[in-house]
Structure 1
Amino acid sequence: MPEEKIRIGIIGANANYGWSMRAHLPALLALPEYELTAVCTSSSVTAAESAKAYGARLPFHDYQEMVTHPEIDLVSVSVRVPLHHDMVMAALDAGKHVFCEWPLGANLEEAQRMASLANSKGVTNMVGLQAQGAPAILHMKDLICHGYVGEVLACNMTMFLPGVLQRGLSMPWMADREKGGNTLTIGTGHAIDALCFCVGEFKEISAKVATQVTEWETSEPGKTVPVNSADNVLISGTLVGGAVASAHIATIPWHGSGWRMEVYGRDGTLTASSQEMIQYGNITIHGARKGEDRFVEVPIPDVLTHIPSDVPMGAPFNVAQIYRTLGQAIKDDSKTMPDFDFAVDRHKLLDAMEQSSMADGKTVTL
């Protein structure tokens, strides 16, 4: 007898634009353990279009109706950050399992409320820090844990991507730091999560959170919006294991160099790089050990890919990897990672960066 599928409803499932269209929908349609049961958008017209395009039985334009529907097991929230809290809380109140994109909330307090309710409801939950599902990042972590570089002494990470010089034309809401979607929360959140996943958590941290571009253009010719959200984040600190670490994440250049992480140990060095954002870019690993004279590319074992071969590369790939992990946890009635409690810890790390920056770079102990 075939195993029952997990019936999922996606909030933010517009068929014409958005992260769901780019990542969630292609990922879920390729995973046999899921049934795309429902889609929810902001209007009945686009909801019907999306349902037809992706084969969902139930179109909604009111998320409250979708999250309370008895034929939904799991709710996925993939909308703008300021909308996460109310939608997630409604789904949790309805007793549904929940996946929410990163950042979990627009601030730490929202994230804490969501995590608290998820725990009290006893439902399986996950936050979309999908770099933790990337085969290359999984392999990087394994190599470090199994001594490829020996004792980790230092780690450096950079991520320079095209961003705010272009972004303001279509996403002016991100100019306001209170909305919770910017280079600190999104770009730095994803990148620093990958660093910590591989080499360990920060024990203490110092940071500079800066806004270098203070006006964005809008879609209305000649009109600009003031900006107070971050576009540059510089970090230095000490990890729990004793290594020192630094990072610079920026979204201001027209042409960025992409993402790169370097890990230096007593017995060797590992580097990982991508031309895109860490969470969906194609990552290449190189390494060199003590006594070797040059870096060589390190192959990524196929066993770290847990999804069908027809999942598209790019944005859907790592999303599918963590959806598979989530699906297994739902079937096993168990916790999974990264969950909402984990997301709260990441929000605390971002808050520590802001606290340090506001205190002229004073070191914050975590």
Structure 2
Amino acid sequence: MANKIRVGIIGTGGWARYGHIPTLQALDAFEVVALSGRNLAKVRGYADEFGIAHAFDDAEQLINHPEVDLVVVLAPTPEHGRLSKKVVEAGKDVYSEWPLSTNTAESERVLALAQTEGVTHVVGLQRRFSPSSRYWHDLVRQGYVGKLRAVRMSVGVEAFSAVMPEAARWAVDPDNFTHLLPVYGGHFFDMLFHGLEFPEKLVSLSQNQLPVTTIKETGEQIPYAAANEVLVIGTFPSGGTFTLQLEGGQRHPTGLQIEITGTDGVLRILNPRGFQNVDDGQVYGMKDGATAFVELPVPGRYNSLPVTHLDASAQDVAYLYDAYARSKTKGDSDVTTFEDALRMHRLLDRVVESSAANER
């Protein structure tokens, strides 16, 4: 492209290095021109490694730099809302990692500001963009399962375990909204319900089975109040039902498992990991009187970008960035926006409120 979208990234954690920088550098529509972070030496090291022109230890310098068109906010969650508002106030497009902020009220304010200023806003709910997700979404819409009857999804991950690194200490505070339900619930609920329907009714239960976390480097033990087991059951507007289970801190991760049953067929989606997936999910189906699942390979048209050398989790981000680029040129893409983020915040509020009511 003669006119690339020039990107500035705030935050130099592992997700920037693993997911965003390699993805953007593999896409012709983008050029990463600036990085910022708290440790200037680290930022400069990243900039040198990846050939990025500008390095800052002040996020506002990056936001206001004239060569930056799109600002990507990858700082810790408590900074997402504040920094996103700074970007919007500067009149620039903004991509915020999910969650958009630490609470629904703040996310409402961020969205309202973005709408007032008329900037393009993107939230990092990228799981719905994986080739396997887009494929099974299409199968459902094309009638593979018929009328929806029931959905069962479980997500089991190592994250949020009884031992956590010092760098993750900040996430132990539930007020920072970086625990099992908002992180894995937000991503996988969005992917699931985008492919089916949004819930009508739900009830939930949650449990904290690991109430103490040990800091790996020091052995210090600190209280951990967030739930690491979450169960949600409910109904869809069409009458179908769903059962969802999230489990964090697994010693033997079970990954992603989904079954979708209908009047005409069944779909099964599997992935051995919840995140940092080397390979995309596998899709299986059973219909027309069959008694065993058969694999339904993802057609090549769902892998349309030159990013197959990256892990599947990074490829998901690539398809989200591609949707953003198309929104700028064609105005008709399905990019996930701050509206999607707010909808997810409100859904998670319902889950928390139901769980609290059941505890009472």
Match for residue 158 of structure 1 among 132, 154, 157: 154
After superposition, the Cα gap between the structure-2 partners of 1:268 and 1:163, relative to the gap in structure 1 and judged at 3 Å, is same
After superposition, the Cα gap between the structure-2 partners of 1:279 and 1:333, relative to the gap in structure 1 and judged at 3 Å, is farther
SS at structure 2 position matched to 1:9? strand
The Cα of 1:313 is off from its aligned counterpart by 2.4
How many percent of aligned residue pairs carry the same amino acid?
29
Residue number in structure 2 paired with 1:118? 114
Match for residue 298 of structure 2 among 297, 300, 321: 300
Distance 2:67 2:232 in 1: 46
Distance 1:331 1:279 in 2: 31
Distance 1:279 1:22 in 2: 9
Which stretches in structure 1 are left out of the alignment for 5+ residues?
A: none
Contact 1:73 1:97 in 2 (8 A): yes
Residue number in structure 2 paired with 1:50? 46
Match for residue 194 of structure 2 among 172, 194, 197: 197
Distance 2:325 2:103 in 1: 27
The Cα of 1:222 is off from its aligned counterpart by 3.4
After superposition, the Cα gap between the structure-2 partners of 1:324 and 1:312, relative to the gap in structure 1 and judged at 3 Å, is same
Alignment of 1:49-198 (within 5 A): 49-165=45-161, 167-170=163-166, 171-198=168-195
After superposition, the Cα gap between the structure-2 partners of 1:74 and 1:336, relative to the gap in structure 1 and judged at 3 Å, is farther
Distance 2:121 2:156 in 1: 31
Distance 1:45 1:169 in 2: 21
The Cα of 1:328 is off from its aligned counterpart by 1.6
User: Between Structure 1 and Structure 2, how many residues are aligned?
Assistant: 358
Contact 1:275 1:282 in 2 (8 A): no
Residue number in structure 1 paired with 2:6? 7
The TM-score, its normalising length taken from structure 2, stands at 0.95
1:80-110 deviation per Cα after TM superposition (whole angstroms, max 9, x unaligned): 1111111111111101101111111111112
Alignment of 1:313-328 (within 5 A): 313-328=311-326
SS at structure 2 position matched to 1:156? strand
The Cα of 1:20 is off from its aligned counterpart by 0.6
SS at structure 1 position matched to 2:200? strand
Distance 1:332 1:325 in 2: 10
After superposition, the Cα gap between the structure-2 partners of 1:279 and 1:113, relative to the gap in structure 1 and judged at 3 Å, is farther
Contact 2:160 2:179 in 1 (8 A): no
Quick check: 1:242 aligned with 2:239?
yes
Distance 2:219 2:318 in 1: 41
Contact 1:208 1:235 in 2 (8 A): yes
Contact 2:154 2:245 in 1 (8 A): yes
After superposition, the Cα gap between the structure-2 partners of 1:327 and 1:311, relative to the gap in structure 1 and judged at 3 Å, is farther
After superposition, the Cα gap between the structure-2 partners of 1:336 and 1:114, relative to the gap in structure 1 and judged at 3 Å, is farther
Distance 2:328 2:94 in 1: 10
The Cα of 1:43 is off from its aligned counterpart by 2.3
After superposition, the Cα gap between the structure-2 partners of 1:301 and 1:32, relative to the gap in structure 1 and judged at 3 Å, is same
1:283 aligned partner, one-letter code: G
Distance 1:290 1:248 in 2: 29
The TM-score, its normalising length taken from structure 1, stands at 0.94
The Cα of 1:310 is off from its aligned counterpart by 5.0
The Cα of 1:21 is off from its aligned counterpart by 0.6
Distance 1:279 1:259 in 2: 12
SS at structure 2 position matched to 1:273? strand
Contact 1:259 1:278 in 2 (8 A): no
